[in-house]
Amino acid sequence: MISRDRDAAGRARNDRPRDRLGRPLPPGSVGVARIPDDLALTPQQTLAFAQQLLDDGLAFNAHEVLEAAWKNGAVAERMLWQGLAQYAVGLTHIQRGNAKGAATLLRRASERLGSYPANAQHHEVDLAGVIAHARGLLAALDAGAPIGEEQLRGRLRRTDA
């Protein structure tokens, strides 16, 4: 049986360093800084940090920041954070050249964010803009059109926020 890295609670963890696209590197390699699972930021800090990572082309790390908000945040907001995390991992799959995985995650993100209650807390997230961007990327993937790096730097918040 293969031995897996485990945390103090016994949950499986992969402590190997990762490249900028989140792929594991050989032990002892120098990778990008990891986002801790227990990252505790305010919603505004989460969105600012995730946006900076997206702007830097680090969609996988942005996904980890958004996933921490989903797992550690208010139960009532989990659908929002999960949808945003799925959106970021969809971008990651595009960066990795995995069109099928990207389409699956971008579709899930669009559906989840599209069904997020209108009267719920949005933290100035541009839901319509994120959904439109995800759908535009889906159309490009379906058409087999090239997607440039600049197209993978979607805006999470309204520009007037």
Strands (DSSP E) contained in 10-119 are none
Q: pTM to 2 decimals?
A: 0.87
Calpha distance 153→51 (Å, rounded): 8
Does position 85 have pLDDT exceeding 90, yes or no?
yes
Calpha distance 153→90 (Å, rounded): 12
CA 97 centroid distance within chain: 16
What pLDDT is recorded for position 160?
A: 57
Instruction: Give the confidence band of 24 by pLDDT, cuts at 50, 70, 90.
Output: confident
Instruction: Give the confidence band of 90 by pLDDT, cuts at 50, 70, 90.
Output: very high
pLDDT digits (tens, 9 = 90+) for 58-81: 999 999 999 999 998 889 999 999
pLDDT digits (tens, 9 = 90+) for 94-124: 999 999 999 999 999 999 999 998 888 889 9
| Residue keyed to tokens 């699956």 | 104
What pLDDT is recorded for position 37?
A: 78
- Can you read off the two tokens belonging to residue 82? 């999960």
Strand partners, 18: 24, 32
Q: Which helix (H) or strand (E) holds 55?
A: helix 43-55
CATH number (3.30.360.10, 1.10.357.10, 1.20.1560.10, 1.10.3450.10) of 43-152 reads: 1.10.3450.10
Supply the DSSP symbol for 151.
G
What pLDDT is recorded for position 8?
A: 66
What pLDDT is recorded for position 3?
A: 57
Instruction: Give the confidence band of 36 by pLDDT, cuts at 50, 70, 90.
Output: confident
- Can you read off the two tokens belonging to residue 95? 């960066």
Contact 77, 46 (CB under 8 A): no
Q: What does residue 12 show for φ and ψ, rounded to 5 degrees? A: -65, 135
Calpha distance 107→109 (Å, rounded): 5
Identity at 35, one-letter amino acid code: I
